Amino acid sequence: MTYYEDESPRLTSRVIVGTSTSGTPILHDTIEHVVLNPTWAVPRKILTEELVPKIQLDPGFLERGGFRVFEKGKEVSPAPVEWYGDPPFAVVQEPGPANPLGRVKFVFPNNAAVYLHDTPFGHLFDAKERAFSHGCIRVEKPMELASLLTGLSLDELEKRLADGKTKAIALDPKVDVHLFYYTAVVEDGRVRFREDLYGRDRSLVRALRARP
């Protein structure tokens, strides 16, 4: 990830992107808010495929992880036996060290429901191939990016984070964000080729080979 200001790069950061089965989309949008101490509204697919099996095996999983459970907009305390099939619940994780969004989230409303965010799993940035997310983009230097976007110093951001409460900082002006997918790039005057993680080059090759 590169952040530009007046057409000059101000910050570069390694990122983690979606897996081969949950790819990060190509899109162009604007970052509207920086959210400190974000909550995590668990997507339905992650809830049914990943969290429900853990809840079934460990009734204390939700409480330890800081999860709150809602049914038709009302907070409830479901019994473990109800976590089978397609449970009628929505699950939200409170801010804290276990929250996968970390301490800051960068919101640009889009149909793919993806965004940039911090992560408590910083060791994953050392991997050569960093495709571990469900589609969102995890940023290695989230606080530095938040400082540049909001104009607040790192110290001021830390003060606002200290109480652990969720708060949003509206950006004015909003900041453009562009998500690209390239398997061939130019670096230091040389063309370098990358792995086609999402298999998108096949469609491009077919289109190039097709008759007019």
Is the confidence at residue 195, as pLDDT, over 80? yes
Place of tokens 């939700």: 62
Superfamily designation of domain 2-39+96-182: L,D-transpeptidase catalytic domain-like (2.40.440.10)
Place of tokens 């080729």: 193
Contacts of 13 (CB under 8 A, 6+ apart): 1, 3, 139, 140, 141, 144, 145
The answer to whether the predicted template modeling score (pTM) of the entire model surpasses 0.75 is yes
What pLDDT is attached to residue 81?
61
Q: Is 123 a catalytic residue?
A: no
| Higher pLDDT, residue 30 or 77 | 30
- What is the spatial distance between Cα 173 and Cα 11, in angstroms, rounded to a whole number? 19
Q: Is 178 a catalytic residue?
A: no
Which residue in the list 33, 134, 136, 178 is annotated as catalytic? Answer: 136
Structural domain boundaries in the chain: 2-39+96-182, 45-90
What pLDDT is attached to residue 70?
93
H helices of the chain, in order, are 44-46, 52-57, 61-64, 142-150, 154-161, 201-209
Which residue in the list 28, 117, 123, 178 is annotated as catalytic? Answer: 117
Burial class (CB in 10 A: 0-12, 13-18, 19+), 42: middle
Q: How far apart are the first and last CA of the chain?
A: 36
In this prediction, residue 46 has a pLDDT band, given cuts at 50, 70 and 90, of very high
State the CB neighbour count (10 A cutoff) for residue 152: 17
Per-residue pLDDT tens digits for 159-176:
999 999 999 999 999 999
The strand pair at 131-133 and 15-18 is best described as parallel
83: nearest Cα among 69, 99, 100, 66 = 69
- What is the spatial distance between Cα 27 and Cα 95, in angstroms, rounded to a whole number? 28
Is the confidence at residue 80, as pLDDT, over 70? no
Q: How far is CA 78 from CA 41, 134, 173, in A?
A: 17, 26, 43
The mean per-residue pLDDT over the stretch 91-114 comes to 95
